[in-house]
Chain A
Amino acid sequence: MKLSLGPLLYYWSRDDTFAFYQAAAAWPVDSVYLGETVCSRRHTLRLPDWFSLADRLAAAGKEVVLSSQALIESESDLKLLRKIARNGKFLVEANDFGAVRLLAEAGVPFVAGPTLNAYNPDTLAMLHELGAVRWVPPVEMPARMLAAMPVPASMATEFFAYGRLPLAFSARCFTARHYNLQKDDCQFKCLDHPDGLTLRTREGAAFLTLNGIQTQSARVYSLAHRIDELRAAGVGLLRLSPQAQRMAQVVEVFHELITGGLAPAEAPARLARLMPGEPCDGYWLGQAGLDWQPERAALPS
């Protein structure tokens, strides 16, 4: 089993982003996803910056994957997408069927990202025929659905195993809305919230996280204690979603898990001190995503 560092979902300063990936080069992750997937207004790093980070991480022995934007709206979004699709060097994660079209046309192998909504064998087989060498199931996919999915032999399964769940995309920017700013004049308020803005119910319960045009869970999805179930369901890579603080320690916990240095049952306690919110694992159990039932088995033994 391998570890991947998913695309950075937040907007960090240029210095913080470079520092994060410089550190990540030394972490025990096999694969690193780079690029802006959430908002086309986020520019502290331009495409050449991402390419130069990609070169550095590749030189450090990482497999690099360039992630594409999930919500494509304008011609400039498409221009960027074409440049990524035709980079000629690195694997690309397609997060939209426009990207699939461009990658298939170019005959380039790709990773089928979680927003492609591959929920069934026919769609998965089609993505494989078009060139997908790996797929990331929708984050809401339960263990039993994944276990029932016939995955082509030469296709790897990567599963979102740690981080705030990316739940929704909108054209509307909820961070700008919070500050009474129009999206076109958002003053890049996301920079002030490196782990997003917590949305609470009127009873004060942390419920969601506003991250620009993306809405995430407030709880942190963690399947660390379920590593045996993930293996049994055919998962080859665990995706860890970057957070602003304590990511190195999070990676270390997962590394110890897959190398046998840490018992899965010990993982929740270790991670509790590292997480930016309460844990959840409901999706894997086929329940409400926000549920947390670490004692319950997701698959029949």
Chain B
Amino acid sequence: MPALLELICPAGSLPALKAAVDGGADGVYLGFKNNTNARNFSGLNFDDAAIAAGVDYAHGKGRKVLLALNTYPQPGEVARWQQAVDRAAELKLDAVILADPGLMAYAAKRHPDLRLHLSVQGSATSYEAINFYRERFNIQRAVLPRVLSLAQVETVAQNTEVELELFGFGGLCVMVEGRCLLSSYATGDSPNTCGVCSPAHAVRWQQTPLGLESRLNGVLIDRYADAEKAGYPTLCKGRFEVQGETYYALEEPTSLNTLELLPQMARLGIAAIKIEGRQRSPAYVAQVTGVWRAAIDAVKRAPETFAVAPAWHGQLDKVSEGSMHTLGAYYRPWK
């Protein structure tokens, strides 16, 4: 029987990894300090020594460590991604999370025992796409983009042997990951190739007579009145004007939170729940991991009577973007 509702938590640093493991994560995911992963931010991620220490810590407590190598290698630089796969095998990581088919082919051939997960950056939204990666590279798990309704997830689950991992909590990527070039259009840095979205070096804050302005490479993303709480200028969560109306034209600054869907996810046989936020602090990781551990345990104990404890929402809202949450695409009318 495959695992059910494993809790997979983010680790942007060794302290965050320990917080996740101590808080009850079944697995953590992390990345190297370069553009081989989609959270290539300075001050974040792991060098070889930190990964080794993290693997020791997690494995010592019976937990898994997954390595995100979910950007797309480019001509002349493929070796960096391939070496990262080799290191993952040497360090005995439990799986690598890949988006690029060329890299998957390398990993499957060179390290047949290394478990492969399809990253959300691979943009696979149908069982036909997921089964493509299964047949060619024997992937064991696919992380689904945050764009399918639960009914659509069910169809995928019924038509593939590949384990499915769904996003449970964290920043809501409104676009299909791996298919979004908004950040590169504005800044030149691409999530697909550089591993960054709305990169910090392109961000400027300026107090003006009209309010506090946030810009991304000069493009005005939002402007805040004195009493308003300013958010990070993620491009798709800015306020823009369409036909004379100014609003969050793409998405509000809000977090995804699917706690109340856990029983349905369990019924669909979802293998794992992913928590987003490698760029967040160890305190965030500890807080979120604790809540989700309690919730998943409650679902496993008694799925029929599961109810979201008000305290869980309270704790999660404290660390949510804009202190708001949504069921995202899992909830059909959201679309």
Q: Give A residues with C-beta under 8 Å from B.
A: 70-75, 77-78, 81, 96-102, 115, 117, 119-126, 138-140, 145, 148-150, 165, 167-174, 177-178, 182-184, 197-205, 207-208, 210, 215, 217, 282-283, 286-291
Interfacial chain A residues near B223, Cβ < 8 Å: 202
User: Known: A182-B333, A199-B249, A289-B181. Is A170-B175 also a contact (CB below 8 A)?
Assistant: yes
A120 touches B250 (CB 8 A): no
Asked if B131 is an interface residue, CB under 8 A from chain A, the answer is yes
A96 to chain B, nearest CB (A): 6
Considering only CB atoms, which chain B residue lies closest to A216 in the complex?
Answer: B185
Q: Which 7 A-B pairs have the closest CB atoms?
A: A122-B102, A98-B128, A171-B147, A123-B102, A289-B185, A101-B132, A119-B72
Q: By the criterion CB–CB under 8 Å, are B185 and A198 in contact?
A: no
Q: Which of B188-196, B260-268, B281-289 contacts the other chain?
A: B188-196
A-B contact count (CB 8 A): 207
Task: Mark out the residues of chain B between 203 and 224 whose CB falls within 8 Å of any chain A CB in the assembled complex.
Answer: 217, 219-223
Question: Which residue from chain A places its CB closest to the CB of B244 in the assembled complex?
Answer: A200
| Alpha-carbon gap, A6 to B172, bound state (A) | 31
Assess A288 versus B220: contact at CB under 8 Å? Given A123-B102, A165-B181.
no
| Cβ-based interface call for B19 (8 A) | no
Inter-chain pairs besides A97-B128, A197-B243, 6 sampled, C-beta below 8 Å: A74-B152, A120-B78, A168-B176, A169-B176, A202-B222, A215-B250
**Which one, B9-17, B118-126, B314-322, is touching chain A?**
B118-126
Complex A-B: 30 CB contacts under 8 Å: A72-B125, A73-B125, A97-B122, A98-B129, A101-B131, A102-B128, A120-B78, A122-B78, A122-B102, A126-B105, A138-B181, A140-B184, A165-B181, A167-B181, A169-B180, A172-B147, A172-B250, A178-B243, A178-B245, A182-B335, A184-B332, A197-B243, A201-B240, A203-B220, A204-B241, A205-B219, A208-B240, A283-B185, A288-B188, A289-B188
Interface SS of B by simple majority = mixed
Q: Is the CB of A122 within 8 A of B186?
A: no
Chain A contact residues: over half helix, strand or loop, or mixed? mixed
Closest residue of A by beta carbon distance from B202: A288
Closest to B76 in A: A148
Is A101 in contact with B128, judged by CB distance below 8 angstroms? Answer: yes
Once the chains bind, are B152 and A168 in contact (CB under 8 Å)?
no
- Residues 240-263 of B, flagged 1 when their CB comes within 8 A of A and 0 if not, give 111101100111000000000000
Do A286 and B174 form a contact, CB below 8 Å, given A171-B335, A204-B241? no
**Cα distance A204–B329 in the bound complex, in angstroms:** 30
Question: A115 to B78, Cβ gap below 8 A?
Answer: no
Chain B residue with minimal CB distance to A288? B188
Query: Given the complex of chains A and B, what is the CA–CA distance between A285 and B286 in angstroms?
Result: 43
A-contacting residues, B51-74, CB 8 Å: 72-74
Judge if B278 is at the interface, Cβ distance under 8 Å: no
B179 within 8 A of A: yes
